[in-house]
Structure 1
Amino acid sequence: MENNSSTWVRFWNRGTWWKALLIVAVYWGVYELIGLGIGALVGGSIDLGSPLSDPLSAFLGLALPILLSGILLFLFARSLGWVKEIFGPQPVRGKAWMWVAVLLVVIPIFLRLMATNWSAYSIGLVLVMAFFGLCVGFTEELATRGIVVNMLRNGGYGERLVFVLSSLYFALLHSGNLLTGMAPLVVAVTVVYTFGFGAMMYLSMRATGRITWAILLHAATDPTTFLATGGIDATSATAGAEELISLAGLFNWASILLALLAIFLVTGRANRTHDIPPVPAVA
């Protein structure tokens, strides 16, 4: 048993780009299967057309699948002994300019809070959406800025490549919306946006020194977006102030521009390899 465990740990510690991509693909598949399972068991309690229609529907349709997926990811990280590395201080010191990413995430959160038509929602739904946000922040950050970043660092990848790959894999997670019937153009726009947002999360993690702050920023982004627009990837009749929502949307473009610029600015290497020589990649 101990030898098998060591083989398991050694395999994942020898981080490569394809193993990191494999983890992301398996996570997405498990998440979808959990969602299908919940739908089969309690689908009658979920309003697929409007998951924000009531607290129970939002909990079962949105929060529960991502919560269960996050628990499985945490158990995976724990099996490898990575929890302390993932949630501990960043091994590569952040730069002052990276704080711009934090501002590009925080400002639109406040704009959406002001824009939201709070009278359209019950207190129960708001609490469920706040819980959903925490689940999303924890799970998606653990997957991409946690496990993927840690795996690539252990494999000797330079931070520039870690930055690009972790942001790209985060974006690819959202390309699976094609299978749910979402329009290809909408999916393409979502992938571009999520690459920018993923980049902001990486930079926020580096700036603050901990993944915890990226989790909290992410946790505040999704529910404020959904509540402000009144829906998921769409605007409904319960949407709030259009001008403020549009202003918040401009920060998405600023994030994408900073993400592209950061490809040339991010440098460094964690110097935390496990059992394999460093990958000959740009620093």
Structure 2
Amino acid sequence: MTQRIDDGPVTPRAGFFQRPNLGKAVLVIAAYLVFYLLVGQAVGALFGDRINKDDVLATGASVFFAFILPIGIGGLALFGFTASVGWLREVFGRQTVGGRPWMWIGPGLALTAIVAHAASTDWKSWRPEQIALMAVFGLCVGFTEELATRGLAVRMLRGADHSERFVMVVSSVLFSLMHVINLLSGMQASTVLVTVVYTFGFGVCMYLTMRVTGTLWAAILLHALTDPTTVLASGGVDKSVTQHSGGWSLVTAAATILMVVFAVVAVFLVRDDRRTTAQI
């Protein structure tokens, strides 16, 4: 008789991950990053002539092959892995750990930054196809990175019976460390360091978004809106919107800084107890 786990039969891989721990969570994130980098190399080798090295956002084909295709394939691979270990219902279904009123600050700060980015964007300088493709890119990034960290990593850390404080901090650290690979694309070390610090704060806000709304999809949506609005507001990839003048840019800078500060405070506020319904 075949034993079943959640939505599917047990496979050797599923059995291995049904005994989760921190090391296996790190393994999944590391394996995803290696896979993503290899896919990027393959796409570059096959379609490198379609990518504008001087201005990646210059053409639709350049955006698609440089950004959308690699992260899209990575997301499909993570979705397939989630299905293979029988965790689709747990990861994408209703959260079993509830939230508290103060946690709404997390999604509030993220939404404030999104609105400020949109308001400070010079929309006339972007073609409709560029805006549409950046929206698709945002959906791919939001789905893939949230599935990896707030989905799989959180599921595995909770499965290892770690406290919610540990789950929040470690999943956010893993999310921030994922961005260290930007060094391989030539980004300056100082910029990568700032990115790592910011993404830790953003990761905590997304974890709290998931808890207080009760669903991973809310974090995916906010994340999907964050990346494209940031790029469109700044005028390019890996550029800081806070370098530009204007009231909305100041709002963006304030929200970004507050995310990091709030993340540190949240470490001390988050409760370790598990609840079955959200307390909001």
Which of 242, 254, 261 is matched with 1:257 structurally?
261
Cα contact 1:156–1:271 (8 A) shared by 2: no
The AA in structure 2 aligned to 1:20 is A
1:19 shift after superposition: 0.9
Partner of 2:97: 92
| Post-superposition CA distance 1:98-126 (Å, at most 9, x none) | 00111100011111111111111111110
- Asked if 2 retains the 8 angstrom alpha-carbon contact of 1:133 and 1:221, the reply is yes
Aligned to 1:16: 21
8 Å contact 2:98–2:274 — kept in the other structure? no
Contact 1:171 1:192 survives alignment (8 Å): yes
Any idea what the Cα deviations from partners look like across 1:201-241, whole Å, max 9, x if unmatched? 001111111000000000000000000001111159xx976
What CA distance in whole angstroms lies between the structure 1 residues aligned with 2:163 and 2:18? 16
Give the deviation of 1:180 after TM superposition: 2.2
Aligned counterparts of 2:84 and 2:51: Cα–Cα separation in 1:
34
Task: Provide the C-alpha distance between the structure 2 equivalents of 1:110 and 1:87, rounded to a whole number of angstroms.
Answer: 26
The aligned counterpart of 1:61 is: 66
Q: Letter of the aligned partner of 1:89 in structure 2?
A: R
Report 1:151-162 matches (<5 A). Answer: 151-162=156-167
Q: Is the 8 A contact 2:179 2:192 kept in 1?
A: yes
| Distance in 2, Cα, partners of 1:240 & 1:252 | 14
State the percentage of identical aligned residues: 43
Which residues in structure 2 correspond to 1:30-45 (within 5 Å)?
30-45=35-50
Say which of 104, 114, 129 aligns to 1:109: 114
Partner of 1:267: 271
Is residue 73–residue 142 contact of structure 1 (8 Å, CA) maintained in 2?
yes
> Is the CA contact 1:51–1:58 (under 8 Å) kept in the aligned structure 2?
yes
For 2:6, the equivalent position in structure 1 comes to: none
* Residue 53 (structure 1) shift: 1.0
> How much has 1:48 moved relative to structure 2?
2.4
The structural deviation recorded for 1:141 is 0.1
**Is residue 98–residue 275 contact of structure 2 (8 Å, CA) maintained in 1?**
no
CA contact (8 A) 1:197 1:256 kept: yes
Contact 1:228–1:240 under 8 Å retained in 2: no
Distance 2:274 2:59 in 1: 46
Match of 1:220 among 221, 225, 229: 225
Q: CA RMSD in A?
A: 2.1
What one-letter code is carried by the residue in structure 1 that aligns with 2:41?
L
- Residue type of the alignment partner of 1:245: S
2:145 match: 140
Q: CA deviation at 1:28?
A: 0.8
Give the 3-state SS of the residue equivalent to 2:251 in structure 1. Answer: helix
Give the 3-state SS of the residue equivalent to 2:99 in structure 1: coil
When residues 269 and 72 of structure 1 are mapped into structure 2, their CA distance, relative to the original with a 3 A threshold, is farther
Letter in 2 for 1:52: L
CA-CA distance at 1:265 after TM superposition = 1.2
Is residue 184 of structure 1 aligned with residue 177 of structure 2? no
Question: How far does residue 82 in structure 1 lie from its aligned partner after superposition?
Answer: 0.3
Q: How many residues align?
A: 270
Question: Cα offset for 1:249?
Answer: 2.0
Q: How big is the shift at 1:47?
A: 1.2
- Which residue does the alignment assign to 1:74? 79
Give the C-alpha shift of residue 269 in structure 1: 4.6
Whichever residue aligns with residue 185 of structure 1, its letter is S
Q: In the aligned structure 2, how far is the partner of 1:17 from the partner of 1:246?
A: 38
**Which secondary structure does the structure 1 equivalent of 2:161 belong to?**
coil
Q: What stretches of structure 1 of length at least 5 have no aligned partner? A: 273-283
Quote the offset at 1:51 in angstroms: 1.3
Cα contact 1:163–1:199 (8 A) shared by 2: yes
User: Are 1:112 and 1:224, in contact at CA under 8 Å, matched by a contact in 2?
Assistant: yes
In the alignment, does 2:189 pair up with 1:193? Answer: no
- In structure 2, the CA distance between the partners of 1:171 and 1:160, relative to structure 1 (3 Å rule), is same
Instruction: Judge conservation of contact 2:78–2:148 (CA < 8 Å) in 1.
Output: yes
> Counterparts of 1:198 and 1:226 in 2: how far apart (Å)?
18
The equivalent of 1:244 in structure 2 is: 248
For 1:269 and 1:35, the matched residues in 2 are separated by 41
Q: Which runs of 4+ in 1 moved over 6 A?
A: none
TM-score, length of structure 1 as denominator length: 0.90
Give the SS at the match of 1:199: helix
Give the aligned residue type for 1:106: L
Whether contact under 8 Å (1:141, 1:211) holds in the other structure is: yes
